[in-house]
Amino acid sequence: MQHSLELLAPARDLQTARAAIAAGADAIFIGGPSFGARAAAANSLEDLQSLCAYAHRFGVRIHLTLNTLLYDAEINAAQELIHAAAQVGIDAIIVQDPAVFTLDVPAGIELHASTQCNIDNVDKLKFYRDLGCAQAVLPRELSLEEMAAFHQACPDIRLEAFVAGALCVGQSGICYISEFINGRSANRGACAQICRLPMQLLDPNGRVIKEGHLLSLKDNLALYDLPELIAAGISSFKIEGRLKDTIYVKNQCAAFSQALDSYIAQHPAYVRSSHGRCCYNFVPAPGKTFNRGFTAAYLQGSNDNLYADKSPKFVGEPCAVCLQCFPRGRGSELRVKLQPEIELHNGDAFTFFDQNGELTGFRANEVQQQGLNARLLLHSRLMIQPGCAIARNLDIEFERSTLAKDSAKRQLSLCISVSFYHERCEITYADELGRQASASLKLTMPKTVQAATDLNMPGSAKALTKRVIAEKCARCPDPDFLIEQVEIIGEELAFLPVSALNELRRKAFNAYLVKAQAYRPNGQSKAFALPDPLPLFPETEVDSRLVLNQKSRDFYLRCGAQIKSTGSEQVLMVCRNCLIKNYALCSKDGGKVSGFKLRIGKRLFALRCRCSDCRMLVLTAKGS
């Protein structure tokens, strides 16, 4: 039995989604008109229908994000969206609010438990499996060991893990700091990314012991950990980034697609969940598109070296050291020493940290490079000190090659059979997914070879040789398909104009396209139905901030959980990493961890360490 592996790519719009598919994605997660956890990445139903038709050519699945908490007044609209999603061809819906489980979900659509469900233990995974979820999106902060335990306990639910993109400092689904500060709820798709702001860590005496972007984490990159993730039972590999541009998504998809193909080539027990061959005219390099530095520490169960506290912006790849900078006319000239194997180009952009520790950038209008020495000519004045490290955050040639029309191409193989029987000609298109369609027409058949010769006159139907038929049928009108084989069956002489053969070929191909685009890859064969009775929720209480409608309240009560109201002291974030451990002294090393505070702007927050499982809690405090 072969096991399917799925590369799941983000898409903010139809264009990005098509680019991701061309670059090797097996599935796409994308927002609809509403209720997605990235409110700025909404898409019309018309675009979703177009995307599904294109994706299903390759057996690529489309996951719709309906992963926000809902108010009572939104339940009917959510139900309408689910029905519309079924009509346009959506394959799966990602869910956070349990009210969605009580709605009518037509056949063909799977329900997936969102990372916002905070499935941080085996009992929670069993709960969502028992509800009927086909796939669970695991929290970013889980280790390989924890993932393996999840898979061992619940092998009958597919596990999805983040392998690239931004890391949340707060534990998935239980971060309320954005909502607390400015009313923008992360659970409603409007996170203000408070964790990326500059802030100060205060000791119990009120002294500032560290300042910077203290809660801003590096980005996740598990490109080199795929074998371990597969061994742990992960079958869906998710790239974060529904707000990222096409270059980012295409670059990440190509890198991970090639890595998965390389693994499968050595492990025939695994296959990709979609079809089609991808080829690339650029070399993928995750470090060349937006990132805050990379880490895969969570996979090892570590919370060390996670922070990108100097800046939450894209610093870029280290490339040079400043030797000298001086004015040149109205601009500047910068002389640098390059790192090995770095090649600069006119129009590249660079960053450095100035004397105040602020990230500063510039663009080189002209580059003159000789070996490891280069002169950068700028049209603007620049102040940078000798010895300052320089990074490149825009490689103009990489961007051009990635955006080129033929930078990534995906084709599905087709076989054609041309059959002559009972004075008819039939053309059939078939693919590797088992889909096929045909068209046929009546032939003019001569009684003798001489008659065939006599008919071979200008303007008349002609006898078509097998070679001519094969040549004509080997042409495909759609660049997404590649004709691998043309089989001709039957020995009768076929007399018809070439134009008739071409028209028959077009009819057969169009019939195949209709079937391919209506295809539902591995869809849920029956309409979703909740089990009766409902499984027990593994926790006795649910935070009231996660329950915004009556259907959800009733659901949790039926599952044996009570709704707990928040008191005067509210937990705003639960972090698997600890500022006190990172910037002061951990209790395990003899430090005292009580009394620390975090200042963000004019607000003050209390910090509490839960040392038993190495968690840090950010709480409301007087004056916050």
3-state secondary structure of 205: coil
Query: Same domain for 137 and 236?
Result: yes
Choosing from 475, 497, 517, the residue where a domain stops is 517
Per-residue model confidence as pLDDT tens digits over 465-519: 788 888 999 999 899 999 999 999 986 555 677 888 899 999 999 999 999 988 9
98 to each of 67, 148, 527, 555, how far by Cα in Å? Answer: 10, 26, 17, 7
Q: Is residue 176 part of a domain?
A: no
In terms of phi and psi (left: phi > 0; alpha: psi -120 to 50; beta: otherwise), the region of 248 is: alpha
pLDDT tens for residues 570-581?
A: 999 999 889 999
Beta bridge mates, 575: 170, 616
Pair 68, 154 in one domain = yes
Average pLDDT (228-257) is 97
Token pair of 158 as six digits: 């597919």
| Mean per-residue pLDDT of the chain | 92
One domain, residues 378 and 457: no
Of 489, 517, 545, which residue is a domain's last? 517
Regarding whether 439 and 390 lie in a shared domain, the answer is no
Token representation of residue 217? 């984490």
Last residue of a domain, one of 517, 545, 576: 517
What's the confidence (pLDDT) of residue 35?
Answer: 79
For residue 478, how many other CB atoms are within 10 A of its CB? 14
Q: Verify that 485 and 460 share a domain, yes or no.
A: yes
- Quick one: 222 and 327 in the same domain? no
Query: Which pLDDT value is given to residue 499?
Result: 87
111 forms beta bridges with: 93
Tell me what pLDDT residue 65 has: 96
| pLDDT tens-place string over residues 131-146 | 999 999 999 999 999 9
* Per-residue model confidence (pLDDT) at position 540: 96
Could you give the count of Cα atoms lying within 13 Å of 169 in the half-sphere of its Cβ?
Answer: 30
Backbone angles phi and psi of 337, in degrees to 5: -105, 120
**Do 284 and 254 meet the contact criterion of CB atoms below 8 Å apart?**
yes
Q: What is the pLDDT of residues 27-46, one digit of tens each?
A: 999 999 987 666 666 899 99
Q: Looking at the chain, how many residues does it have?
A: 624
Q: Residue 455 has what pLDDT?
A: 42
Does the residue 143 lie in any domain? yes
Decide if 117 is inside a domain.
Answer: yes
Q: Tell me: the pLDDT tens digits for 137-177?
A: 999 999 999 999 999 999 999 999 999 999 999 988 889 99
Residue 59 within any structural domain of the chain: yes
Residue 493's pLDDT is 53
Same domain, 242 and 333: no
- Single-letter code of the amino acid located at 353: F
Are 417 and 367 within one domain? no
* Assigned domain for 600 exists: no
Residue 228's closest CA among 143, 137, 144, 136? 144
Residues 70 and 153 grouped into a single domain:
yes
Q: Is 357 a member of any domain?
A: yes
Assess if residue 149 is contained within a domain: yes
Residue with tokens 């360490």: 609
Q: Are residues 330 and 381 in the same domain?
A: yes
Q: What is the pLDDT of residue 469?
A: 87
Distance CA 165, CA 172 (A): 15
236 and 349 both lie in a single domain: no
Phi, psi for residue 299 in degrees, rounded to 5: -60, -25
> 354 is written with which tokens?
């100035």
Q: What is the pLDDT of residue 239?
A: 98
pLDDT above 90 (res 450): no
Q: Coil, strand, or helix at residue 108?
A: coil
pLDDT (0 to 100) of residue 624: 62
Alpha helices, H only, 132-245: 144-153, 177-182, 226-231
Residue 463 is predicted with a pLDDT of 65
pLDDT in tens, 308-332: 999 999 999 999 999 999 999 999 9
Confidence of residue 456 (pLDDT cuts 50, 70, 90): very low
DSSP 377-439: EESS-----TT-EEEEEE-HHHHHHHHSTTSEEEEEEEEEEEEEETTEEEEEEEETTS-EEEE
Q: Look at residue 492 in the predicted model and tell me its pLDDT.
A: 54
- Looking at the fold, whether 53 and 105 belong to one and the same domain comes out as yes
Q: Domain with 365 in it: what CATH number?
A: 2.40.10
The whole-number pLDDT of residue 451 equals 44
- CA geometry: angle at 19 spanning 16 and 23, to 5°? 135
- Find where tokens 């394959």 sit: 91
Count of domains in the chain?
3
Which residues constitute the domain of residue 260? 3-167+218-275+283-300
Cα–Cα separations (whole angstroms), residue 357 to 149, 291, 352, 601:
43, 19, 9, 19
Within-domain flag for 196: no
Please enumerate in sequence order all residues whose Cβ is within 8 A of that of 43, keeping only pairs 6 or more positions apart, or say none.
Answer: 13, 14, 30, 31, 32, 33
Nearest residue to 439 via CA among 385, 356, 507, 520: 507
pLDDT tier, 453 (very low <50, low <70, confident <90, very high otherwise): very low
Residue 71: which H helix or E strand, with range?
none
Which phi-psi region, left, alpha or beta, contains residue 108 (left: φ > 0; alpha: ψ -120 to 50)?
left
- For the stretch 170-204, pLDDT in tens is 988 889 999 999 999 999 988 999 999 999 999 99
Using N-to-C axis directions, what is the helix angle for 246-266 and 14-22, rounded to 10°?
30
In sign, the C-alpha dihedral spanning 31, 37, 42, 46 is: positive
